[in-house]
Amino acid sequence: MTAAIVATEVSRTYDLDGVSVSALRGVSLTIEPTDYLAIVGTSGSGKSTLMHLLGGLDRPTGGTLLIGGRDVSGLTPGEMAKLRNETIGFVFQSFHLLARTTARDNVALPLVYRGIGRRERRQRATEMLERVGLAHRLDHRPNQMSGGEQQRVAIARALVTGPSVLLADEPTGNLDSATGQSVLALLESLNGEGVAVVLVTHDREVAARAHRQIVMKDGLIVSEASV
Amino acid sequence: MRLAEAWRVALDALRANRLRSVLTMLGVVIGVAAVVALVGIGTGTKGQIEQQVEGLGSNLLLVVPGRLEAGSAPAASTMTLDDVEAVARVVGDRDRVAATIASGETVRAGSRTAFGSMQGVLENTPSVFVRRLDRGSYLTRTDVTTGRRVAVLGAGTATTLFGDRDPIGRQITIGGVRFRVIGTFERLGQSLGVDRDSEVHVPVTAAQRLLGTDRIDGLAIRAPDRERINQLSTAVVDTLTDRHPDSDFSAVTQEQILGVLGDILGVLTGVLAAIAGISLLVGGVGVSNIMLVSVRERTKEIGLRKAVGARPRDIGVQFLLEAVLLTTIGGVLGMALGVTSALLVDALSPVPAAITWWSLALAFGVSAIVGIVFGVVPAQRAGRLDPVVALRTE
């Protein structure tokens, strides 16, 4: 089985007003299609930068990064967008749903950029919302739903394109603990169905549920443990 | 992303900010309306004046004393009826040379009074200019040679003096001198701001005696064909200059009058359109400004769209379509407003207005182009946003 993402000695340096700042200093990491991985670290440890690289939102300044078998260094922004659309699903701490748009149309959004027609988009979005337990919320707008429901909509949106990796950045950060638990349970059941799940979190309890844990500090992986 | 989808997204975004969209459009609406209305008024005025000049009759050559140059004072005429004979010999046809001496006079019939433009003329005037009689007959050769006191009235003067009664054969006085009415003209209306229905035609000789002069004001020659006008013009001016070495004479053709008037009105229309165009430009700047605000406001949305697979092009097209929608909807509304204003001006004021298809097409095209030009910068900025930075924005 080919790895979903392979990072080899990946570094990322920012140029801030002429001063060079290293956010990642040589990180190697392989994500398999069945992985359930947590990336842990304090703020400034480089875990967000790593997540952006793994999700194809950003490109490394050193090392090689393969997403879905493709080296991202030679890709244009347009090709990167297509790669994200096809292989990655994002779940954010603050949900990032379009405010004036219904749950179904929010979920269908990634399919718009795949050039899929309106009818099929709506049908696939409906199926995905049923799968996350929101069949009764198809035409609700984000402000008519609870935080947990909004995060489920966001997860449905991440899944609708059939990605190989789900990247979740503090997915429980804005939720109370009971709701957070149910969102995590949903992610875990998806992982059981064959989607790699990568959690980025500073919450040790959340991280403890993953099968693999990576601890980051000062732009490096300081420890890696498998359960 | 499919283009139809992009239109829907752009339309949704405009609808979400209804008041802002309408206010932004207003700049374009006013600009386009101003262009359409002002060009319509300019075109209408030009058309009316051309029609009036052409209505004088075709292939006309007007000869007046003095130089027709900017800054030169009007000259007193030195021309007499002998000059008319000399010019007639040059032209080779007496019937093609008309002479005029004009004077504003009080015209009375019984207790009624009218102010008329007395025109002392030759019997050939109706064949040189286009004048049709309503009743009676025109002046004859004998009337002119003998200085008979007979008059042909304009339709307006006839109505003022006689109402519904038949004026033929009745007595009037012009400047205190008795004349007999022998005919009336068909109604003509205004021409170049002059009420031509208040003209009173009398034999030139009678007019000269009334005014105590042997001069005439000017000549009008109807050339046999268009090609000979310029040649005739030179020959006539040379003949008159030979006979009056101390005076200047000028000959102008209808084409020259039309050309000069056309140039003036063309420049005027151009200036009006330019001023209107500037307001359209200001409207475009407004669109650009609002689009930049919109991009900033929706940075997070742009970041999210990019994260789920929108290419820079998709985002750019979305914002460009939004700008183009703003200006084209504004353009259509502006066209409607402009056409309505022009038609209202045409109907309610003496200023004529003509809507031309090219001005509508131009206004619509320009407003679409304004949208593209002023939408490009905000659209590019949106398309190039770094998704990482955009997602982090709160």
Q: Which residues of B touch A55 (CB under 8 A)?
A: 307
Residue B227 has a pLDDT of 79
Termini Cα distance of chain B: 27
With CB atoms and an 8 Å threshold, state whether B314 touches A82: no
The C-alpha atoms of residue B203 and residue B121 are separated, in whole angstroms, by: 5
Report the SS3 class of residue A76: coil
Q: What ranges do the domains of chain B cover? A: 3-52+259-392, 76-247
With CB atoms and an 8 Å threshold, state whether A85 touches B308: yes
Residue B65 has a pLDDT of 86
Query: What's the gap in Å between the CA of B5 and the closest CA on chain A?
Result: 8
Q: Which residues of A touch B303 (CB under 8 A)?
A: 96
Residue pointed to by tokens 């084209």: B328
With CB atoms and an 8 Å threshold, state whether B311 touches A112: no
Q: Which residues of B touch A51 (CB under 8 A)?
A: none
Query: What's the gap in Å between the CA of B288 and the closest CA on chain A?
Result: 24
CA dihedral B336, B338, B342, B345 (to 10 degrees): 110
For residues A163 and A86, the answer to whether their CB atoms sit within 8 Å is: yes
Residue B192 has a pLDDT of 59
Structure tokens, A102: 């219904």
Strands (E), A123-176: 165-169
Termini Cα distance of chain A: 21
Residue A82 has a pLDDT of 95
Q: What is the mean pLDDT of chain B?
A: 87
Tell me the mean pLDDT per 10 residues along chain B, length 394. Answer: 81 86 90 88 84 74 78 74 90 88 91 92 87 90 93 92 91 93 86 76 94 91 83 89 88 81 84 84 88 91 94 93 92 93 89 84 85 91 92 77
Residue B1 has a pLDDT of 62
For residues B154 and B198, the answer to whether their CB atoms sit within 8 Å is: yes
For residues B68 and B61, the answer to whether their CB atoms sit within 8 Å is: no
The C-alpha atoms of residue B287 and residue B20 are separated, in whole angstroms, by: 10
A5-226 classified as CATH 3.40.50.10800: no
Q: Which residues of B touch A110 (CB under 8 A)?
A: 308-309
Instruction: Name the stretches of chain A with pLDDT < 50.
Output: none
Q: Give the best residue of A47, A93, A98, A112 to mutate against chain B (max B CB count within 10 A).
A: A112
Q: Which residues of B touch A100 (CB under 8 A)?
A: 12, 16
The C-alpha atoms of residue B173 and residue B162 are separated, in whole angstroms, by: 13
With CB atoms and an 8 Å threshold, state whether A81 touches B311: yes
Ramachandran angles phi, psi of A64, nearest 5°: -120, 145
Q: Which residues of B touch A (CB under 8 A)?
A: 1-2, 5, 12, 16, 300-301, 303-314, 386-388, 391
Type of residue at A201: T
The C-alpha atoms of residue B141 and residue B123 are separated, in whole angstroms, by: 6
Query: What's the gap in Å between the CA of A195 and the closest CA on chain B?
Result: 17
